[in-house]
Each structure stands twice: as structure tokens, then as C-alpha cells.
Structure 1
Amino acid sequence: MQRGFEVVTKYQNQNLNLPYRTTEHAAGYDFEAAEDFVLPSIWKTNFLKVLWALHHQKTISEEDLKKGSQDLKPYLVPTGIKAYMQDSEYLLVANRSSSPLKRNLILPNGVGIIDADYYNNAANEGEIFFQLINMGLRDVTIKKGERIGQGIFMPYLKADGTDERATKRTGGFGSSGK
């Protein structure tokens, strides 16, 4: 087995589809949502109050500024899927081209990186989530089975020498950094 996808234990009996390519020459594998999920609009949060105050050069309390920034956090939409691959590969996750246009949904950093050691590590089975922000005016309901993003297997190169800071992964999402 070189690379592929499996359903995580939590969703084993939920009739999920493994990621798939929709055309013969597609690079990306489409991922579907594992369950219904509501993505709130950023415009319904304290973010709008902070934006208005900044635009009108009004004083903003530290608490409101902090809350406004937190309102822009992405939500983690579960896929119920994990990916296995070679040690010299990663899975690049990205928007589907239609997501920003049709639904106003974006990955906040544009892409995500799923490392090979995310799969079945000591503290996490390796479920892949898509971080999404809803830039639209209304909340968006993502239905189970709806395509939410795509993944592309990619090789990578290492620099000469060794990196003494590299350790064995022991956790899940976001565990390799602070």
C-alpha cells in the first residue's frame, strides 16, 4: 500500500465515501463532509462591531478587539477520513474551485498540510478536518456527503544534514507546533 484513504473508527458504520477524483485527469481527490455542519457567517459576530469601530476610528476595548479576532477563527469540518502515504509525501488539502465562488467558504490559510505521520500516530487516528471560514452574509449548512475540499498527494524534498529538533509525532491536529 503506497497511498490512499480509510474511514476512521468513529465513522466506520456511517456510509462515508472515500475521497475520489471526479474526472480522469483530476489531480485532487474530493473530500465530503462526514456529518451535517453549520458554518456561521463572520458578519453575525462581534467582528462586524470591531470592523465598524476601526473604520470610524472609535476606541475599541481590548476585550472587544480580542473577541472580534476570535470570531474570525475557522471551524473544523470533519471528513471521517484518514490518509496513508509514503514517508516522503504529504497530502495537500485545498479549496475546491467552486467553494469560494458559490458558497463563500474559504480555507483561512489557503491550503493545509497533512503529514505522513499524522496517520495512526500514538494519540490520534489521523482524521482529516477542513478548516473553513464562512465569508457570506448568512450561515451555511453543509450537508453530510457534500464536497468540501480536495486533497492532492505530493512528494517533498529534505534539506542536506539532519534536523535535531525533529521528533516523533505524538498528537493530532496542530500537535507539531505551538
Structure 2
Amino acid sequence: MTRGFEIVSKYADQGLNLPYRATKQAAGYDFEAATDFTLPSIWKLNFIKVLWQLRHGETATDADLDTAAKVLKPYLVPTGIKAYMNADEYLMIANRSSNPLKRNLVLPNGVGVIDADYYDNPKNEGEIFIQLLNFGIRDVHIKKGERLGQGLFMPFLAADNEAEVTTTRTGGFGSSGK
């Protein structure tokens, strides 16, 4: 087996679909939500208050900044899926074109990178989550089975003069460095 998808064990009996290509020439595999999920609008809580204060030269309190920062964080929407691939490949997670246009949803980092050694890591079995921010005015309710993003298998190249890397992944998000 060269590359593909599996359902992580905690979702084994949940009736999830493996990622799929919607048309025969589609490059990306559509990922669906594993559960119902509410993605809150960034315009909630003290975010508007802090923007107003900053715009008018006022000093925002630490409490207001902390509350606003909580709203501006991306949310990790579970897919229940893990991906296996060759050692010289990665899975790029990209936004669906309809997310920003119809639902005001974006991937905050533009794309996600799933390394080959993320598969079956001991922390979360390599489950892929899609990071999303909701720039809309209202919360977005995502239903189990709704398409969130797309994954594309990609090769990568290493530099000629790269020092030998001997570190082994031991966890999930952020486990390969700070």
C-alpha cells in the first residue's frame, strides 16, 4: 500500500466516509466532519470592543485582550481520518473553494501539512483535524458528513547538504518543534 486513508479507531463504528475525489479529475480528496460541530464567529465576546479601543487609541485591558485572543484562535474540527503515505510525501490540507464564499470559513494558516510520520503517532493515532476560523457574523453549525477541506498527496524534496535528521515523532499537533 502506497498511500491512502483509514478511519481512526475511536470512530470505527461511527459510519464515517473515507476522503474521496468528487470528480475523476479532481486533485483533492474531500474530508468530512466526523461529528456535529459549532464554529463560533470571531465577532463574539470582547473582540469588537478591543478593535474599537485600538482604533480609537485607547488601551485595552489584559482581560479584554485575553478574551479576544480566545475568540481569534482556530478551531480544530475532527475528521476521524488518518493518512498513510511514502516517507518522501506529505498530505496538504487546503480549503474548499466554497468555504470562504458561502460560509465565511478559512484555514488560518492557508494550508495544513500532514507529514508521513504523523500516521499512527501514539498521541492521537494520526487523526487529521481541519483548522478553521469563522469570519462570518453568525456561528456556523457543521453537521457530521459535511465537507470541510480537501487533501492532496504531494512529494517533497530534501536539501543536498541537510544534516541527518534522527528525531522521531512522538505526538500530534506541534510535536515536531516549537
**TM-score normalized by the length of structure 1:** 0.96
Q: How many residue pairs were aligned? A: 178
RMSD across aligned C-alpha pairs, in angstroms? Answer: 1.2
Q: Distance in 1 between matches of 2:77 and 2:123?
A: 20
Q: Which moved more, 1:50-59 or 1:151-160?
A: 50-59
Amino acid in the other structure paired with 2:148: I
Q: Distance in 2 between matches of 1:52 and 1:162?
A: 48
Q: Superposition pairs for residues 77-88 of structure 1, below 5 Å?
A: 77-88=77-88
Identify the residue that residue 3 of structure 1 maps to in structure 2: 3
Structure 1 consecutive aligned stretches of length 4 or more whose deviation exceeds 3 Å: none
- Output one character per residue of 1:23-71: Cα deviation in whole Å (capped at 9) or x when no partner: 1111000000000000011111221111111112112123322332232
- Output one character per residue of 1:141-162: Cα deviation in whole Å (capped at 9) or x when no partner: 0000000000000000001134
Aligned partners of 1:118 and 1:124 also within 8 Å: no
Identify the residue that residue 163 of structure 1 maps to in structure 2: 163
Q: Distance in 2 between matches of 1:163 and 1:140?
A: 45
Matching of residue 67 in structure 1 with residue 67 in structure 2: yes
Aligned partners of 2:77 and 2:130 also within 8 Å: yes
Amino acid in the other structure paired with 1:54: L
Q: Distance in 1 between matches of 2:132 and 2:21?
A: 21
Q: Distance in 2 between matches of 1:30 and 1:126?
A: 18
List gaps (5 residues or longer) in structure 2.
Answer: none
List gaps (5 residues or longer) in structure 1.
Answer: none
**TM-score normalized by the length of structure 2:** 0.96
Q: Distance in 1 between matches of 2:37 and 2:108?
A: 18
Identify the residue that residue 22 of structure 1 maps to in structure 2: 22
Identify the residue that residue 112 of structure 1 maps to in structure 2: 112
Amino acid in the other structure paired with 1:143: K
- Displacement of 1:165 in angstroms is 5.5
Amino acid in the other structure paired with 1:99: N
- Displacement of 1:121 in angstroms is 2.1
Identify the residue that residue 54 of structure 2 maps to in structure 1: 54
